[in-house]
Amino acid sequence: MVKTAQELMDEPDFVQNNLSVGEVEQEFEGSENTLMVKRDDEVIGEIHENSVLKALIPEEKIDEESMVGILGLSFDQSYAPETAEDLMNAHEVTVPPSETLGEIAYIMDEEDIRSVPVEKDGEIVGVVHEDTVVEQGEV
């Protein structure tokens, strides 16, 4: 039987966009590896543990290639993330609860993302993580 996002998803963990980097780091304790970022009531992005890890790298060790990869924009040597919004990846891809495991795997690979939010009636109701897709997939 083909599994769907509804069966694979975990309950999302939300943080506000103005949370400090330190507070974001604390939020990862006891959560999966993705936090959904809200501005007011709108989900605007997501933060993966990997983004927090990169924010902890000492400034003298940061190079342009890795920072452009994090930010997706031109490099600014003075970049120092201060808030959840600074750390997040823009919220661009979602799937409906009925999306199949194979399609979710395809979207994650195509978009180079580690999790995908599940959206129903304009609301984020869950998140499917890469490790769940791999664990539940049949090759």
**How many percent of the chain have pLDDT more than 70?**
83
Contact (Cβ atoms closer than 8 angstroms) between residue 45 and residue 89: yes
Q: What is the pLDDT of residue 75?
A: 46
Residue 57 predicted with pLDDT over 80:
no
Domain borders along the chain are: 5-136
C-alpha torsion angle, residues 70, 73, 83, 49 (rounded to 10): -10
pLDDT digits (tens, 9 = 90+) for 77-129: 445 788 999 888 886 889 999 999 999 999 999 988 888 999 999 899 999 98
Please give the CATH number for the structural domain made up of 5-136: 3.10.580.10
Other CB atoms within 10 Å distance of the CB of residue 18: 12
Across the chain, what does the average pLDDT equal?
Answer: 83
What pTM, to 2 d.p., does this model score? 0.74
Q: What is the bridge-based pairing of β-strands 123-129 and 14-16?
A: unpaired
Q: What is the mean pLDDT of residues 31-42?
A: 84
Among 6, 26, 2, smallest CA distance to 98 is for 6
Residue 76 predicted with pLDDT over 60:
no
